[in-house]
Amino acid sequence: MRPAISSSTVFSMLVLSAFPAYAAGAGAAGVMVFPIQPVYDAAPDDACARATEVIATELGNTDRLRTVPAPAIRKATAFDAPKVDHGAVGRATGLVRDGAERVAAQDFDKAVKALKQALSVLERNAVNLDDFKPLVDGYLYLSVAYIATGEEEAAEDLIKGIVRLDPRRRLEPGDFVPLYQRIFEKLRAAILAEPRGSILVRSSPSGAAIAIDGKEVGSTPALLTGVVRGEHFLRVGSPGGSPKRQTVAVPSGSQVGVNVEFSTLDGSPEAAVARAIRDNSLDAATRAQAARIARDAGAAYTVIGGMSKTNDTLLTVNAHLMRVADGAVTALVPVSLESDMLGAAVEAYKLAEDASKKLDAFPAQTDATALAVAPGARRPFEKTAEIAVGEEVVAKPEWERLTPERRPLPTPPDMEPPPDVKPPKPWYTNPWLWTAVGVVAVGSGVGTWIYVAGQSPDHGQVNATW
């Protein structure tokens, strides 16, 4: 026979079933700990995850708060490899070789047909090419064929493409007919004399390999100088992943900026908040986004924090407590953690107690300005390398830069006497001439004295004819 249940017991069971939160002793407000993020990517991800876990545990142990699970921050998918028709590119490379052989054999009509077909494929895949030599060689041999068939204007357009993609390209004497070499060198010199542009390449994280027009030049961050005006193809290598590629139009005498982000986060709202924390900024939009995430999770409050590196062994967590209802924010006490996370629970307890006390200490209204997640954190200094990627222009001699009517004489250096040949001295600088003149003068004087002295002193005379 079952024991009878008293009316008081039934009443207690009904109350507890109607209010499960109170039955569990959790009549506190829900708080969501947004995953702690490394500020300026200067702290280890595993340390951030461990700090998030410990802080959430200690907040849940307070009397006034209970933790609400935070949504996971999804990782971005790996970069897709470029879709290149390697078979078509290989066949186009073969057509360039065939066109070069036909140019050498002066079979220009067939050379033009083969080279144009090759260039249509190579140009279409240019942004994804790693080796630009077939493309530049195609421009070269097609321009030679155009010069030979009288299409000089089309040839000049191709030569401009050669200089743009490979400004250091020079022609060896005897490679092509003198007419083509003169046209090439003249146009090349004119292009290189124009004001150059530059490309400032940055990436997050830094240290990504940079290639411009198929040539590896350095790593980010870097300022590429001496870039010839026009379209260029940039490849920035992802550490451990596929590179990002893009076309960059560089104006004459101007600088273009390229920022590449190799983010491990996807495009979700949670990832957007995480990126803002990593950039040490809690602006109004980010706070509103974080409030929506916490509200959807069923939390009345959310803790948003970032971890920065104080020194080689010490990490600091700076966090803010935000009220979801109106977005009001108050700073929490910073906590210091050892890199091995020993004693993390003690430090997290301090933050949790501070959060519990500040539930009633929010500002009267929300500050609309951006807040720094970690006020003392500074972005790590990275020196930007300056890399010259274009051919240096050799300054012309002063006489060559002047117009003919203003040039001093003698003009070109080849009209001056060789340095080992001395020009003749003026006749009046010859010492032997003046020696002879002196001898004649002295001899004339002495002879005159002897003649006069040989006459009678009383009857001497001198005859002079004028």
For 171-197, the DSSP string reads PPTTSS-HHHHHHHHHHHHHHHHSPPE
Is there a single domain that holds both residue 113 and residue 185? yes
Q: pTM for the complete prediction?
A: 0.61
Is there a single domain that holds both residue 142 and residue 174? yes
Alpha-carbon distances, residue 300 vs 30, 78, 211, 292, 343 (angstroms): 5, 35, 50, 11, 29
Give the per-residue pLDDT at 459: 46
Among the three residues 360, 386, 416, which one is the final residue of a domain in this structure? 360
- Positive/negative CA dihedral, 281, 284, 287, 289: negative
pLDDT tens for each residue of 67-98: 999 988 877 665 556 677 889 999 999 999 99
Average pLDDT over residues 331-344: 87
Higher per-residue pLDDT: 459 or 203: 203
Is there a single domain that holds both residue 92 and residue 185? yes
Q: How confident is the model at residue 402 (pLDDT cuts 50, 70, 90)?
A: very low
Report the CATH number that the domain containing residue 172 is assigned in CATH: 1.25.40
Is there a single domain that holds both residue 276 and residue 310? yes
pLDDT tens for each residue of 160-209: 999 999 999 999 888 899 999 999 999 999 999 999 999 999 987 788 99
Integer Cα distance of 246 and 156 in angstroms: 26
Is there a single domain that holds both residue 71 and residue 119? no
Token couple for 431: 């010492």
pLDDT tens for each residue of 424-436: 666 656 666 667 6
Is there a single domain that holds both residue 185 and residue 102? yes
In a domain, 447, yes or no: no
Is there a single domain that holds both residue 188 and residue 272? no
Is there a single domain that holds both residue 96 and residue 161? yes
List the strands of the sheet with 209-212, edge to edge: 215-219, 209-212, 230-236, 244-250
Q: Report which DSSP code applies to 3.
A: P
In a domain, 317, yes or no: yes
Q: Which residue has the tokens 């051919």?
A: 391
Is there a single domain that holds both residue 121 and residue 67? no
In a domain, 294, yes or no: yes
Give the per-residue pLDDT at 465: 37
Higher per-residue pLDDT: 6 or 147: 147
Give the per-residue pLDDT at 381: 73
Position 368 pLDDT exceeds 90? no
Is there a single domain that holds both residue 283 and residue 312? yes
For the chain, what percent of residues have pLDDT higher than 90?
52
Give the per-residue pLDDT at 83: 73
Is there a single domain that holds both residue 54 and residue 92? no
Structural domain of residue 181, as residue ranges?
86-193
Give the pairing type, strands 255-261 and 197-204.
Answer: parallel
- Give SS3 for 216: strand
Among the three residues 360, 380, 404, which one is the final residue of a domain in this structure? 360
Give the per-residue pLDDT at 305: 94
> Poorest-confidence range of 58-67, 323-332, 348-357, 439-448?
439-448
> Poorest-confidence range of 276-290, 381-395, 452-466?
452-466
Q: Which of 332, 323, 333 is nearest to 366 (CA)?
A: 323
Give the per-residue pLDDT at 108: 94
Say if residues 101 and 141 touch (Cβ distance below 8 Å).
Answer: no
In a domain, 300, yes or no: yes
Q: Report which DSSP code applies to 239.
A: T
pLDDT tens for each residue of 210-240: 999 999 999 999 999 999 999 999 999 876 6
Among the three residues 338, 360, 382, which one is the final residue of a domain in this structure? 360
Q: How confident is the model at residue 115 (pLDDT cuts 50, 70, 90)?
A: very high
Give the per-residue pLDDT at 186: 94
Is there a single domain that holds both residue 275 and residue 321? yes
What's the total number of domains in the chain?
2
Token couple for 249: 């139009």
